[in-house]
Amino acid sequence: EADIYQTPRYLVIGTGKKITLECSQTMGHDKMYWYQQDPGMELHLIHYSYGVNSTEKGDLSSESTVSRIRTEHFPLTLESARPSHTSQYLCASSELGTGGYTEAFFGQGTRLTVV
């Protein structure tokens, strides 16, 4: 099992609230990612990081922000939650394996519902 953890697993919150989704990995991976996925739909990359103090927007525009102050920690923050933010958020980290490939490990996800 991969050592990457997300909390909380489920969150129901009211509109306008500020929330932070936590993601931590103990594998020492430099690269980390946040994806957004609606039920039955594809994963959309919303943020990624090459390492400490390095963050970039993904292919899907998102109102969330991220920070990478420590290698193992990559939290995602929504300053003011809206019903349109209701979705599943998946965190991942990756390593460069032998032979030059990249293997990503995913957390269990946070299912966010904004009411």
Partner 1 sequence: LAKTTQPISMDSYEGQEVNITCSHNNIATNDYITWYQQFPSQGPRFIIQGYKTKVTNEVASLFIPADRKSSTLSLPRVSLSDTAVYYCLVGSSNTGKLIFGQGTTLQVKP
- Closest contact distance (angstroms) between CB of 45 and partner 1 is 6
Q: What are phi and psi of 88, to 5 degrees?
A: -100, 135
Q: Does 103 bind partner 1 (CB under 8 A)?
A: yes
Is the CB of 48 or the CB of 74 nearer to partner 1?
A: 48
Selected from 24, 62, 64, 94, the binder of partner 1 by CB under 8 A is 94
Tell me whether residue 90 or residue 114 sits nearer to partner 1 (CB atom): 90
Long-range contacts of 59-68 (CB under 8 A, 24+ apart): 60/36, 62/36, 64/34, 66/34, 68/32
Using CB under 8 A as the binding rule, whether residue 53 contacts partner 1 is answered as no
CB of 16 to partner 1, least distance (A): 27
Strands 10-13 and 110-114: parallel
CB of 14 or CB of 42, closer to partner 1: 42
11, 13, 45, 52: residue in contact with partner 1 (rule CB under 8 A): 45
Dihedral (Cα; 83, 63, 67, 42), 10-degree rounding? 70
CB of 1 to partner 1, least distance (A): 10
Other Cβ atoms closer than 10 A to 60: 12
| 31 binds partner 1, rule: CB under 8 A | yes
Sign of the C-alpha dihedral computed for residues 33, 38, 39 and 41 taken in this order: negative
